[in-house]
Every structure is written in structure tokens, then in C-alpha cells.
């Protein structure tokens, strides 16, 4: 019997995300709920943000209409049928927050793209034509390749590993992200940004205090956030829609009580987005017995080897799989993006 290798590669991720019923292995993060107590402070007087935090939620990034949800489900059906998708296991689900979307500005919760941004998506989707799901490691996204989840994606919760550990000194703020174990080291000493020619996956960050709010401004991303000239075959609902060359982020960390951070990030990229948008996500302090586990990504990354082997096992089926997932993205539609410029299907 021919192996339906599509179940091994990118399509299964979309099918897993599409499952509505909770998986048997679903896990609810152990967190300390808000108690209204006074905010703790460091010996030097700044709000003490140190500790382990979790921002897991099932609230979607953008607000979608019922028609868009229905269109998404119809587009996903072919992929679910092809893979036998039954839902991901060991999900980390903490429930929804009391609004329709994580985006709070614009007030309608929608991302609006420029014509140039839309044209880039169209060109990158078209560039996938004739490519299989795993012709090369370059066909997989930066997250699968264990390079980086990039920003702001890394600060937006997904299905699991929504944990962050914060360290502070008077002149530095460090945020260790469990997913891909990336550490963001942010100077607070007033030094200028690095030269514009120095580009990084997580950008160049500088922080300062506005009263009791820590503000972190990040720029100088490396221009590879969305994967290059053609769309990676595996994309996620919160993934980047831009290269990052003209991206600027402004994040705000406000400790509203001893166990809650009001986290907000404003995303601005004049080449991609017609207007900036702001995401607001509460971060809850984790219970004392919660541990930040090692996210060993490159170490023992059998998935990448298996993906490439599967692509070689049946080249024709690999092309069919890639075409199927590409068609799913095109047919799903998405706020602010005209068909066929659809980088991913909105996931219910």
C-alpha cells in the first residue's frame, strides 16, 4: 500500500490545528490567578517581573466573521480527509479571554495589509508551484528548522510551550522563551541601537521604563522572517507575513498585580501593513512547582530528516501534497488579504 506521506509533512499540522474537539492529552497550565495584591518591586525600585509566566489562550489573533470561519472549515476539509487528521496531542489550553481577538487596535480586531504586502504574498504562493512539500529544507519554515519562531510570533501563544522566564538587573531585561529556547537580552542602560547593517532573527532590542511599564523597542530584523522568496509549505496562523526588513515592534510589560502582566505589542511595517496593529495578551504567573523544560529542537530533530526522506519516497505524491495545502490556503480566505494571497487558513 502506498504511504500517504502527506500525513507526515506540513499538511498534518493544519489538519491538527483544525480539529475542534480537545485531544485526550490536553493539558491545562498551572498558573496563579490574579489576586489584586500590590506589585512586588526589585531592590532598586523597579516592578519585579522576574519569574515564570504563561500566556496560553485559545482566543484567536484576529476577529473573524462567521462566513470566514465557514470558508476556513471548507478549505481545510480536503487536507483533513487526505491526512486522517484527528487533532494534535498534548495541547496546552487555558481557555479564552473575554474578547473575540487578541488584537485590540484597530478596535475591530483586523489586520490590514498594503497592496505591496498582498502582492508579495501572491508572488510567494505562486513560487511554490512545482515544488513538493520537502524538496529541500528550505521548503520548511524557520520554526520547523529550529532556527527561530521570530517576532512577534514568539510572543503569541500557540498550541503548547507558552511559557516564558524573566530575569532582571538594573541595566538588563532577559526573557527566555520556552519554544526553541531563545533568550531575548534587552539592554536598559540607554545605549543606542546597533548599526542598521547588523540584522538579527529577533532584531535589535532596547528597553526603558515609562513609570511602572517596561517598554521594549525592537528593529533591525534580518529580512528572512517569512522564509524568503517562496512561501514555506508549513505555515501557522500567527506566522510572519513580512520579511522583517522594515518591521518595528514596541512592546509594553505592565505588572498589574503580583501575578499578572499586561503584555502588549504594537506591530508596524509600512511595506506590509496599511496601519499598525496592537496585540494584548495577559501573562499569568505559573504555579511554584512549574518547571521550564528544555526545548531540544536541533538536538534529535528527527522530523526534518524524516520529512526529507518522505519527500524522496514518492516525488509525485509530494507534489500532490504541496498542491493540496497550497489550494487550502488560497481557498480559505483571510482578513485583509484578497484571494489568492492567503498565507494560511484561519483556524477555528
Domain ranges of the chain: 5-332
Strands (E) located in 5-130 = 51-54, 103-105
Instruction: Identify the pLDDT of residue 236.
Output: 67
- Measured over the CA atoms of residue 311, residue 312, residue 314 and residue 320, the dihedral's sign is positive
Instruction: Give which of 288, 281, 273, 315 is closest to 94, Cα–Cα.
Output: 281
Helix (H/G/I), strand (E/B), else coil: 68 = helix
| Contact between 214 and 261 (Cβ < 8 Å) | no
Instruction: Identify the pLDDT of residue 183.
Output: 94
- In angstroms, the Cα distances linking 114 to 102, 236, 269, 322, 336 are 21, 21, 10, 27, 9
Instruction: Identify the pLDDT of residue 312.
Output: 87
With a CB cutoff of 8 Å and minimum separation 6, the contacts of 67 are none
Output the nine-digit C-alpha cell for 314: 514518492
Total Cβ atoms within 10 A of residue 305? 10
Model pTM?
0.85
- In angstroms, the Cα distances linking 240 to 61, 126, 149, 164 are 12, 18, 9, 20
H-type alpha helices, 26-152: 66-83, 115-126
Q: Quick one: 315 exposed, middle or buried, by C-beta within 10 A (0-12, 13-18, 19+)?
A: exposed
Instruction: Identify the pLDDT of residue 69.
Output: 75
| Mean pLDDT in order along the chain per 10 residues (348 residues) | 37 35 57 80 96 91 81 70 58 81 94 86 82 84 87 89 95 94 95 95 97 98 85 71 92 95 97 95 91 81 84 85 75 47 37
Instruction: Identify the pLDDT of residue 26.
Output: 59
| Contact between 264 and 280 (Cβ < 8 Å) | yes
With a CB cutoff of 8 Å and minimum separation 6, the contacts of 205 are 184, 185, 186, 187, 216, 217, 218
Instruction: Identify the pLDDT of residue 11.
Output: 36
Residue at grid coordinates 504563561 = 54
Output the nine-digit C-alpha cell for 275: 496601519
Instruction: Identify the pLDDT of residue 335.
Output: 38
Amino acid at each position: 500500500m502506498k504511504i500517504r506521506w502527506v500525513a507526515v509533512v506540513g499538511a498534518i499540522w493544519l489538519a491538527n490545528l483544525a480539529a475542534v474537539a480537545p485531544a485526550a492529552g490536553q493539558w491545562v497550565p498551572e498558573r496563579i490567578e490574579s489576586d489584586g495584591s500590590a506589585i512586588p518591586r526589585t531592590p532598586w525600585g523597579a516592578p519585579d517581573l522576574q519569574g515564570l509566566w504563561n500566556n496560553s489562550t485559545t482566543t484567536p489573533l484576529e476577529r473573524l466573521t462567521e462566513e470566514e470561519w465557514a470558508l476556513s472549515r471548507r478549505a481545510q476539509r480536503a487536507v483533513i480527509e487526505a491526512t486522517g487528521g484527528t487533532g494534535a496531542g498534548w495541547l496546552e489550553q487555558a481557555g479564552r479571554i473575554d474578547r473575540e481577538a487578541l488584537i485590540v487596535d484597530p478596535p475591530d480586531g483586523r489586520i490590514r495589509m498594503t497592496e505591496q504586502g498582498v502582492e508579495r504574498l501572491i508572488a510567494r504562493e505562486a513560487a511554490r508551484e512545482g515544488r513538493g512539500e520537502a524538496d529541500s529544507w528550505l521548503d520548511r519554515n524557520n520554526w520547523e528548522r529550529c532556527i527561530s519562531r521570530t517576532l512577534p510570533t514568539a510572543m503569541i501563544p500557540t498550541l503548547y510551550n507558552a511559557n516564558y522566564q524573566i530575569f532582571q538587573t538594573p541595566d538588563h531585561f532577559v526573557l527566555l522563551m520556552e519554544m526553541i529556547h531563545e533568550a531575548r537580552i534587552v539592554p536598559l542602560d540607554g545605549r543606542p541601537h546597533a548599526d542598521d547593517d547588523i540584522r538579527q532573527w529577533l532584531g535589535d532590542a532596547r528597553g526603558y521604563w515609562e513609570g511602572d511599564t517596561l517598554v521594549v523597542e525592537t528593529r533591525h530584523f534580518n529580512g528572512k522572517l517569512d522564509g524568503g522568496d517562496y512561501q514555506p509549505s508549513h505555515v501557522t496562523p500567527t506566522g510572519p507575513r513580512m520579511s522583517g526588513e522594515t518591521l518595528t515592534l514596541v512592546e509594553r510589560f505592565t505588572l498589574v498585580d503580583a501575578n499578572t502582566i499586561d503584555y502588549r505589542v504594537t506591530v508596524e511595517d509600512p511595506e506590509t501593513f496599511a496601519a499598525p496593529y496592537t496585540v494584548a495578551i495577559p501573562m499569568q504567573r505559573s504555579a511554584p512547582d512549574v518547571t521550564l523544560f528544555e526545548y531540544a529542537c536541533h538536538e534529535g530533530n528527527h522530523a526534518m530528516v524524516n520529512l526529507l526522506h518522505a519527500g524522496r519516497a514518492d516525488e509525485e505524491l509530494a507534489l500532490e501534497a504541496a498542491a493540496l495545502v497550497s489550494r487550502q490556503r488560497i481557498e480559505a480566505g483571510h482578513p485583509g488579504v484578497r484571494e489568492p494571497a492567503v498565507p494560511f487558513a484561519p483556524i477555528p
